[in-house]
Amino acid sequence: MERENGTEAWRELGDRLVLERDLVSPASFAALPRLVRLASGSAKARHLAGEIMERAAGHHGGDDLLAVSADVIAEFGALLDRHLQSRPADYLVTFRALLAVKEEYHWANVLGDFTDDFYHLACPHCAVKVTIAIGDYGRYSAIRDWNLGDVDRRDLRAAPAGKLSGVGRWMHEITVRDGEGVLADGIAHLFGKAECPRCASVFTIADEYAASNRPVLR
């Protein structure tokens, strides 16, 4: 890739470093320093390094290599942040990679563009399965019925910017900074409140979704 930068060569490298588009190995992390070196001038290198980072919470046998790559990963994070500020066409891909660099692997893997996003979780009070919709068709909690679709909808309550904290605050501030209004609004709803259609209890969406789906870091 350093010599030729050909599409087929990048595809082959991607297949070797991210197996079946999902699994990484020690070779993936061994490649990070050279990928990051290429990333400032190559979208393919940037995207591949991001894919590797998004899978860093899995069982891959590369923890030692990941640990010694801390400086390279920090450099990659700075590069990604600069790229975000250029308002690129691959904004969401870049943002997800930056989330992975920040070790927010869960959100790096599930965050969508909020045009038609659904999150499924259990109500923390009555355990009924609740569907959270954040997209062009509405922002609501509902019970999903096989025949009727989403029923008994309740509007979500977006978190005011001043009430956000932790990673939700950081995500919102970055997207506001970069003029990504749809993403910023979606994040405010994702880290806001939902009402359970069954028992009417109110809970924080991101907390409940992450509690059930966040990977356990070793």
Give me the pLDDT at residue 29, please: 93
How do residues 82-93 score in pLDDT, each as one tens digit? 999 999 999 999
Residue given tokens 């943002």 in the structure block: 95
Q: Is the pTM of the predicted complex or chain greater than 0.85?
A: yes
How do residues 159-193 score in pLDDT, each as one tens digit? 999 999 999 999 999 999 999 999 999 999 999 99
- Same domain, residue pair 61 and 97: yes
Domain boundary (92, 110, 128) is at 110
Quote the domain boundaries for residue 75: 7-110
- Same domain, residue pair 102 and 57: yes
**Under 8 Å between Cβ of 98 and 73:** no
Which whole-number Å values give the CA distances from 193 to 59, 135, 149, 182, 201, in the listed order?
A: 33, 16, 22, 18, 10
- Same domain, residue pair 17 and 100: yes
- Same domain, residue pair 97 and 147: no
Q: Is residue 164 part of a domain?
A: yes
- Same domain, residue pair 91 and 26: yes
Q: Single out the residue of 2, 1, 206 nearest to residue 104, CA to CA.
A: 206
pLDDT at residue 59 tops 80: no
Euclidean distance between CA atoms 176 and 60, whole angstroms: 35
Euclidean distance between CA atoms 30 and 136, whole angstroms: 41
Alpha helices per DSSP H over the chain: 7-17, 26-30, 32-39, 43-54, 63-68, 70-84, 91-101, 105-110, 166-177, 181-190, 205-213
Domain boundary (57, 87, 110) is at 110
pLDDT at residue 217 tops 60: no
pLDDT at residue 216 tops 70: no
Give me the pLDDT at residue 215, please: 60
Q: What average pLDDT score do residues 118-146 get?
A: 95
Q: Is residue 34 part of a domain?
A: yes
Q: At how many degrees (to 10) do helices 91-101 and 43-54 cross?
A: 50
- Same domain, residue pair 185 and 206: yes
- Same domain, residue pair 57 and 127: no
Banded model confidence at residue 12, pLDDT cuts 50, 70, 90: very high
